[in-house]
Amino acid sequence: MKILAVTSCPTGIAHTYMAAEALQLAAKEMNIDIKVETQGSVGAENVLTDEDINSAHAVVLAVDTNVDKARFQGIPMIEASVKDAIKDAKGLLQRAVDAKPVAKENVEQKVEKSEAPKGKQGVYKHLMTGVSFMIPFVVAGGILIALSFAFGITAFQTEGTLAWALMQIGGGTGAFGLMVPILAGYIAFSIADRPGLVPGMVGGLISANIGAGFLGGILAGFLAGYTVVLLKKTIKLPKSMEGLMPVLVLPVLSTLIMGLIMIFVLGGPVKAVNDAMLAWLEGLQGTNAVLLGAIIGLMMAFDMGGPVNKAAYTFGAATISAGQPSMVMAAVMAAGMVPPLAIALSTVLAKNKYTVDEREAGKAAWALGASFITEGAIPFAAADPIRVIPSIMIGSAITGALSMFFKATLAVPHGGVFVLPIPNAVGNLPMYLVSIIVGTVIGGVLLATLKKR
């Protein structure tokens, strides 16, 4: 008879392993074949495979943390704490030996029941899982792009140079290109475990390709996760073919469904939004400049890389295509610098409202904002869109309006602080800086106030 076990304690330093050893010692004494997976601070070791689970009589979960129980569907679970395993490993094993195999329907019902109360907390948890995996990509990519700008803001255009290489590594072909796929992939992973990763990441990549940005990516992640959950529930294969589920059926079907939805359902509206916004902005040309600046600000901060932001940026970049310094471009860049800067400021102002990871990401956000890499704000916006996005939109709108009011101009389409020292790149530099600072302070204070603990 084969018994499985998982041990895991909160710190994952000592008890996880003591419980594992206790179970192994007891099993030896009782002449039971046992395999124990330890989930400690070094990660999971001696991991139980599907094969183990299929051939096992029962599983003992000696855990004080949340472990994934879904994979043990179909075999009896003896749930206990780490403490129980250390204190009375034999008793636990005896319970496992005595456990009767449970009918499949019953098991599934039981699992559903125990997952039900998670509800709201679950959605937030999934979002945070995605965000926490995305943060390092944003930081690595953003900083490398900023480094590339340090060689001159157009240096990356010369192939074969270090600046060009840095842009390849950090930009859309490298770390930044993975940002939205990782976000979407790990949201889906959090919902549906490993099978969620494929449709999630592919959905995220398509979202980035069709210009739906990180908001599209969040949508893709949730869609992918729940699609897999649904597929798992509805598709019933004969026992002999069950092995095909995780390797063939789930990945192919879920990815196909995801991809079709992203391209045919979401793709159209995203392009329509982008086109409509661009046409609308062009119509606004020549009206009140300060109002136009405010609108550009709102758009730049709304979806950071999504269709609305892109429309504003494209509109701004078009105004300098003739090589003329442009007030609109100045407002676009200033408003695009504010979101990461305002968030960075709020992580300083309201330290205790952010996690350690977020505070670290906040430090990088200073550099990203200063380099006009608006994406630096995405992890924060994705984690808490309802509070973050309005705050930074207001900050950016004020900066956009002020930049227009002071008639600041810009002759280049990118670069952040790196273009400021270039002669004639910026018109009315002192007031341009004031515009950026005022928007940053207002957005940052607003966010620090709104943000919940």
Residue ranges binding another protein (CB under 8 A): 10-18, 20-22, 25, 38, 40-43, 64, 81, 83, 86-87
Q: Which is nearer to another protein, 20 or 312 (CB)?
A: 20
**Backbone phi, psi, residue 60, to 5°:** -105, 120
**Which candidate, 227, 145, 225, places its Cα nearest to that of 191?**
225
Q: Which residues of 229-255 are buried (b: 16+ CB within 10 A; e: fewer)?
A: bebbeeeeeeeeeeeebeeebbbebbb
Q: How far is the CB of 18 from another protein (least distance, A)?
A: 5
Q: How far is the CB of 356 from another protein (least distance, A)?
A: 9
Write out the two tokens for 268: 């159209």
**Which candidate, 69, 78, 4, places its Cα nearest to that of 38?**
4
Q: How far is the CB of 84 from another protein (least distance, A)?
A: 9
Q: How far is the CB of 354 from another protein (least distance, A)?
A: 17
Catalytic residue from among 9, 26, 93, 145: 9
Helix 175-192 and helix 162-170, axial crossing angle in degrees, nearest 10: 20
| Cα–Cα distance, 127 to 210 (Å, whole number) | 22
Told to judge if 27 belongs to the known catalytic residues of this protein, a careful annotator would answer no
**Which candidate, 413, 448, 442, 445, places its Cα nearest to that of 156?**
413
**What is the residue type of 275?**
D
Q: How far is the CB of 127 from another protein (least distance, A)?
A: 25
| Cα–Cα distance, 176 to 436 (Å, whole number) | 25
> Strand pairing partners for 43?
40
**What is the residue type of 1?**
M
> Strand pairing partners for 79?
61
**Which candidate, 135, 144, 163, 131, places its Cα nearest to that of 367?**
144
| Cα–Cα distance, 180 to 186 (Å, whole number) | 10
Write out the two tokens for 110: 């039981």
Q: How far is the CB of 40 from another protein (least distance, A)?
A: 6
The residues that are catalytic are 9
